[in-house]
Homo-oligomer: A and B are copies of this chain.
């Protein structure tokens, strides 16, 4: 029937591939990728160890695939947040709120990213760095047309965007260290996140007069 991606065959393969990814992600909640065993994953899926190789050459490849899953869907979110022209204050509130919501919805994925960003497996680190670099570009592109960005060189704008991105990742990581059922601690993390963004934002808007 369908000429592309048609066939029960391919669908079944995709299904166990996804099962491997899901099981891997679940197991990675309590350990890091470099200590995750191939057999451990296949056992969790209920499949023979050798079957793993039909989908990934090694664990690092599974990790890279997980990076795609975790960060791929975030581009739309960023574009969305940056597009509507709210004033600085409301934009910060919205960004922090969305970050918090995203962490809640994709807890395992975000934890994985935080763990492996500077973790032991090089290809995974590289994949995360590449994806975050793309985020930085997008944020920089969103920042550029704003009036406050007058006088900023593209290079400096990218540094600023990187600061925002790093800050977002740090906030997400901090949010995860906090127990889910401690709303007070959660609120404190969010307060700190907002305050940090505000400081940066004020620094940005007074940048010109400081440079003068």
Interface residues of A (CB under 8 A from B): 30-32, 34-35, 114-115, 117-120, 125, 129, 156, 159-160, 162-163, 166, 170, 173, 177, 191-192, 195-196, 198-204, 206-207, 210
Contact = CB atoms under 8 A, between A and B. Distances in A.
A118 B129 contact: no
Contacts of A35: 32, 34-35, 120
A192 B160 CA distance: 9
A111 to B, nearest CB: 8
A202 B206 CA distance: 7
Contacts of A202: 202-203, 206-207, 210
Contacts of A129: 177
Chain copies in the assembled complex: 2
26 contacts: A30-B120, A32-B32, A32-B35, A34-B35, A35-B35, A115-B120, A117-B118, A125-B177, A129-B177, A156-B195, A159-B196, A160-B195, A163-B196, A170-B170, A198-B203, A198-B210, A199-B200, A199-B203, A200-B200, A201-B203, A202-B202, A202-B203, A202-B206, A202-B210, A203-B206, A206-B206
Contact of A115 (B119, B192, B198): B119
Q: Most chain-B Cβ atoms within 10 A of its Cβ — which of A34, A120, A192?
A: A120
A109 to B, nearest CB: 14
A118 B199 contact: no
A166 B173 CA distance: 12
Contacts of A198: 203, 210
Q: Most chain-B Cβ atoms within 10 A of its Cβ — which of A118, A170, A191?
A: A118
